[in-house]
Amino acid sequence: MKKDKSNEAAGKLFDALGKLFMIYFDISYYGIKKIKVKSAMTWFYITLALMIIFSLTYNYDFLVILNKILPFAFTDTVIEFFVKLSWVKYFLLFSLGALFLSFPLIGAREYKKIKSYQNDFNFLSLKAGNGTAPKVIRVIEVDDYKTKVFLKSEGIGIDRYQSKVSDLTTALGQIVEDIRPCKNPKFVEFSLTKKSLAEKVSYYEMPESKNSPYTFSIGESLGGFLTQDISTLPHMLIAGTTGGGKSVFFKQTLVSLLKGSNNIQLYLLDLKKGVEMRPFEDLPNVKVIKTEKDAVNVLKNLRNEMDRRFDYLEENKLKEISPKRDKMDKIIIGVDEASVLYTKVKSDSAKKKYITEARELTDELSKLSRAAGIHLILATQKVTKETIDTKVQENIGGRMCFQMNTLQGSMTVLGNKMALNLPDIKGRGIWASGNKFTEIQAPFLSEDELETELALLGKEYESKTKTFFGPMVALEKVEGEKKKVITKASENEKEKKNGSSEDKTNG
């Protein structure tokens, strides 16, 4: 009888120990997975930590402490065993111990996350034919708001998850943005978000940038409204498949810039016959260019203007153009559907000549124009080295990427697949600046609203409440020498002569 009881107790103890080991291995497994074995930094930290701990413990003080806390485990025999070890053996034993402890420590957070998501999914009581439930295998926190959860689906189809979206939302306490099969269709990926972006954000919801000139709206992110100063970019790329919202974004950017600042000149190259840019044409500080030939001419003249500005900077020992101080406008060169202008053609036609020239000029402008206050905005469906020169791409500081339908497309613009994974919402894009990627909903400005805004701007230029210095760069080929360098001194002279009546500045 007594023997039975003690056997039972031993069995229970054995079971418990077994369970403990299972949990230990479970947690350690996530820890091991998290360790980036190939990273030199990982090994540096591991070595450093071992060295520190080793040098701190090799004096055995810690054994005395352990003996006081746990006298039954750290008996004199145990202590003697440690003290008698050679330092090499001690170090090896110690490293091994540390390794076994560190795995579960590193994996604990991941394990907790996975268990918690597993619990939430268990609420759905989704089961395959043989009674197995889907298993959470990985959780990635994309940012403060977004999480991706990967499930081993155990034979449950996507449609069954989709039919339970509302249950899932309440179980998880997060919005289910997307459910899609992974490359290996045994696995399913859930995109969850704590807050969701609006599906449409009106241009008028964006904060006005009246107090910070040369700033435009990017859109609404989960963290709030984003704006950007074009001076710091200095060039921008807008990419995405057809219908994603490039042209709308392009136009709202221009309106946003014009509304918030004086002293801007716009040169809009729109080789789709100028349809998109037509509404801007009536403004005195805008030129819309519709043919390859004009495009090349205007780019050449702008390149000359850039050279002139550099001469001016050098002569006056200045670093960069400040429109107010130097009485020169900021110049924005916008190209909608850039691939139409830049895509190399094979035939030996006049078109080929224009395209080659346009590419070279754009390359020159993109490299140098920042200090000269000249900025490029390029919108295009395709981004390859055939459409936009790699050299130009290197000089682009800000990228707005709407949905892309190929992995390669997303990779070339952003260097990751974020644009491929975007939900199918017009105006939804990724804003990439430096190595930061933010999902945004771009401001929507309808055609009617655009017309209204441009009409208002037209009136402001007419009444000189909004101004620019001018003159505009010519569209035609300008023969002969570069224009004489205008220095600040000679400008002041001229101003003195003319008095301030001709003042075109905005003060």
Output the smallest distance, CB 405 to ligand ATP, in A: 12
Neighbours of 393 (CB within 10 A): 19
Q: Provide Rg for the chain, Cα atoms.
A: 33
Output the smallest distance, CB 289 to ligand ATP, in A: 17
Report residue 132 as tokens: 């197995």
The interface mask with ligand ATP, positions 436-455, x = CB under 6 A, is: ------x-x-----------
Contact criterion met (CB below 8 Å) for 473 and 267: yes
CA-CA distance, 37 to 32, in Å (whole number)? 9
CA nearest to 486, candidates 331, 314, 319 = 314
Output the smallest distance, CB 246 to Mg ion, in A: 5
Q: How buried is residue 322: exposed, middle or buried, by Cβ count under 10 Å (0-12/13-18/19+)?
A: middle
CA-CA distance, 254 to 214, in Å (whole number)? 10
Interface segment toward ligand ATP; rule CB under 6 A; list 52-60, 127-135, 236-244, 355-363: 236-244
Binder among 147, 381, 395, 403 for ligand ATP (CB under 6 A): 381
**Using the 8-state DSSP alphabet, how is residue 145 labeled?**
S
Beta bridge partners of 332: 266, 375
Nearest CB to ligand ATP, comparing residues 238 and 298: 238
Positions in 100-129 near ligand ATP (CB under 6 A): none
Interface segment toward ligand ATP; rule CB under 6 A; list 95-103, 184-192, 246-254, 494-502: 246-254
Question: What phi, psi does 225 have (nearest 5°)?
Answer: -75, 140
CA-CA distance, 255 to 248, in Å (whole number)? 11
Say whether residue 424 binds ligand ATP (CB under 6 A): no
Nearest CB to ligand ATP, comparing residues 203 and 469: 203
Closest residue (Cβ) to ligand ATP?
427
Say whether residue 298 binds ligand ATP (CB under 6 A): no
Beta bridge partners of 221: 224, 440
DSSP per-residue codes, 246-260: HHHHHHHHHHHHHHH
Instruction: Look at residue 244 and give the partner it binds from Mg ion, ligand ATP, none, a contact being a CB closer than 5 to 8 Å depending on partner kind.
Output: ligand ATP
Instruction: Look at residue 381 and give the partner it binds from ligand ATP, Mg ion, none, a contact being a CB closer than 5 to 8 Å depending on partner kind.
Output: ligand ATP
Report residue 219 as tokens: 């859109």
Output the smallest distance, CB 46 to ligand ATP, in A: 48
Nearest CB to ligand ATP, comparing residues 217 and 265: 217
Say whether residue 427 binds ligand ATP (CB under 6 A): yes
Chain contacts with Mg ion (rule: CB under 5 A): 246-247
CA-CA distance, 90 to 94, in Å (whole number)? 6
Instruction: Look at residue 245 and give the partner it binds from ligand ATP, Mg ion, none, a contact being a CB closer than 5 to 8 Å depending on partner kind.
Output: ligand ATP
Per CB under 6 A, residues contacting ligand ATP are 200, 240, 242-248, 381, 426-427, 442, 444
